[in-house]
Structure 1
Amino acid sequence: MALIWGLAPMLLSAALAAGSPGGAAPAVLIGAGDIADCAGSGDSRTLALVQRSAGTVFTLGDNAYPNGSRADFARCYEPTWGKVKNRTRPALGNHDYRSENGAPYFDYFGAAAGPRGKGYYSYDVGSWHVVVLNTNCGNVPGGCGQGSAQQRWLRADLAAAGKCTVAMAHHPQFSSATLHPPTKRTLPLVRTLYDAGTELLLAGHDHVYERFAPQTPTARPDPDRGIRQITVGTGGGAERHTFGPAAANSERRNSDTLGVLRLTLRPGSYRWDFLPVAGETFTDSGTGTCH
């Protein structure tokens, strides 16, 4: 993989395809959360990683600091991650709601952000299904609770998809970070994901990297049907966060390295790779199978 990483995107895709069953190229997702901040250059450093990889770019919320305003998107996000906007599928963070109840976010990303005002939607990449959730429960119409419009939509969407699935959201369900306690308001959504056999949940909000073993929504180990959560709040924006005691099932943690997560999605399996910015050495990688 180290040799492939240095190739141009077109050669990268061809090299991956050569190692795939039947020559079919796997789908690639690459991104992070907590991204653009005019007060620093971290977003430029993570953009360099994204630009070296083919595939769909994802964001995990808090796209433009500090307030998700039109000026924040124009001055901070557009000059950096805006360069890959044409292949980006975003998620909403709490900072994105600080201005005009999220209107600048929806105006900036347009149709790529899903139905205006909702902030939740889904799409397919290769043989996989991707659901993007709005975990800003006080802002999304109807909230995140059991029986909410979002929860009903999610249940129906997953049932219709019938594919290996990765979910993306801003707020993590599980966390060892000290600043933000693990959220409870999104538990009905995570239960819906679990009941449908979702493989992966990606989150931001905590400005750290943390990977969990597959587990139930209430943090019981479940290697057969559990959801593997990976927090990737390392896109470049704002300050780093710190860890307290390790939460149950936490397998890998880092609080001082900016970078992005690349998912390589094949029929029936996936691979994750955390890619650090230039000059850093922390990495994390592994593989898993669909339920």
Structure 2
Amino acid sequence: MKKAFILIFVLLAAAFIIFLLSPDVAPDLSNLVPEPTEQARYSFSTNNIEPQPTPTSPATITPTVSFAVIGDYGDPSGPADQVADLIKSWNVDAIVTTGDNAYPRGTEQDLASANERYADFISACHFFPTLGNHDWGYPDSNSYTAETLPSTEFFGNCTGNRYYSAVLGDGLVKIIVLSTDSREPDVILQSDFLQRELLTPEPYKFVFTHEPPYASCEGKTSDRSRLNFVGVTAVFSGHCHLYEHLNVDGMTYIVQGAGGGGQTDQFNAYQEGSLLQYNAQKGAVLVEVYPEAAKISFIAIDGSVIESFTLPPQ
């Protein structure tokens, strides 16, 4: 009897061990693996990266609102025309610039020549410009004052100021456009302006400035553009004639100065947090905003998607 009892005990113990080791009931440890950070999702790339073909999907979900971002596009012809054709193929709701909207000096004639391609967006007030250094006059010895800027007259019916905000997509998105050139008299005041604008309830807030807070092109960043961006989804800038995606201290920065104007700049300075660098072609950024996420893509003039990533609402 005693031997039978021991045998039964051994069999029950073995069955219990097999049960624990079964894959159907093994504990799920996947939730203990952290989600990859943005830094982990993107490897450092050079301007020689291979562009990826535009993805196709059998079912397309229409975003709530979409807009294009261009910068340093202010030449009246050349690659800037190809960038404009690319943007028009997207059927976006609006266009936002990162500055240098008219080369070389930001005159009324320069503005008219460079922006004729976007006349429909401008007349409908779906065009939101940022002031660049060329828009303030070039060279600096030929500068305009805040009261004599041709750009505020040219775009003034829609924006009304050198720095401003606008809400898109029935309250889903706010764009905040800053003017941080050295000739801007209200640079310090704009820090308070930005903080007031960030108190509103829009889940996505995008900031635009010309000179980048951070970038890998030497001599073109500016401390004036380094503000308190807590609560901002992403910060866009231009001035460097290239495309760069950075994450600095947890904030997403996009340098989009590849709009087709001027020379092509080089990546000639180290910037910590640089995730992707590209200057092989001109192009534009497409921002597609859904309630659940904002999708940001840089697309070259040949249609290649150089990168695409998503950001959550704030």
TM-score range, shorter chain: 0.7 to 0.9
User: Could you tell me whether the CA contact under 8 Å between 2:64 and 2:290 is conserved in 1?
Assistant: yes
Q: Following TM superposition, by how much is the alpha carbon of 1:164 offset from its aligned partner in structure 2, in angstroms? A: 2.2
Question: Aligned pair in 2 of structure 1 residues 237, 286: CA closer, same or farther (>3 Å)?
Answer: same
Q: Following TM superposition, by how much is the alpha carbon of 1:28 offset from its aligned partner in structure 2, in angstroms? A: 0.6
Alignment of 1:242 with 2:250, yes or no, is: no
Q: Distance in 2 between matches of 1:149 and 1:269?
A: 31
Q: Quote the RMSD (CA, aligned, Å).
A: 2.1
Aligned match for 2:173, one of 125, 128, 138: 128
Q: Following TM superposition, by how much is the alpha carbon of 1:275 offset from its aligned partner in structure 2, in angstroms? A: 1.1
Secondary structure of the corresponding residue to residue 130 of structure 1? strand
* AA of the residue aligned to 1:95: H
Alignment of 1:91 with 2:130, yes or no, is: yes
Q: Where in structure 2 are there 5+ consecutive unaligned residues?
A: 1-53, 138-142
Greater radius of gyration (CA): 2
What residue is the counterpart of 1:152 in the other structure? 192
User: Could you tell me whether the CA contact under 8 Å between 1:128 and 1:267 is conserved in 2?
Assistant: no
Q: Distance in 1 between matches of 2:112 and 2:71?
A: 18
* AA of the residue aligned to 1:231: V
Aligned match for 1:231, one of 255, 266, 274: 255
1:6-85 alignment, distance < 5 Å? 15-17=60-62, 25-38=63-76, 40-53=77-90, 54-78=92-116, 80-85=117-122
User: Could you tell me whether the CA contact under 8 Å between 2:95 and 2:128 is conserved in 1?
Assistant: yes
- Report the TM-score, using the length of structure 1 for normalisation: 0.79
**Cα deviation 1:230-266 (Å, max 9, x = unaligned):** 1110111110000124410101001231000001112
What residue is the counterpart of 2:18 in the other structure? none
State the percentage of identical aligned residues: 25
* AA of the residue aligned to 1:208: L
- Report the TM-score, using the length of structure 2 for normalisation: 0.73
Q: Distance in 2 between matches of 1:109 and 1:69?
A: 13
Q: Distance in 2 between matches of 1:252 and 1:46?
A: 20
Q: Following TM superposition, by how much is the alpha carbon of 1:113 offset from its aligned partner in structure 2, in angstroms? A: 2.5
Aligned residues: 248
Q: Distance in 2 between matches of 1:262 and 1:89?
A: 15
Secondary structure of the corresponding residue to residue 185 of structure 1? helix
Q: Distance in 1 between matches of 2:201 and 2:305?
A: 35
User: Could you tell me whether the CA contact under 8 Å between 1:31 and 1:50 is conserved in 2?
Assistant: no
User: Could you tell me whether the CA contact under 8 Å between 1:36 and 1:63 is conserved in 2?
Assistant: yes
What residue is the counterpart of 1:272 in the other structure? 296
1:106-185 alignment, distance < 5 Å? 106-115=152-161, 119-126=162-169, 127-136=172-181, 138-143=182-187, 148-161=188-201, 163-178=203-218, 180-185=219-224
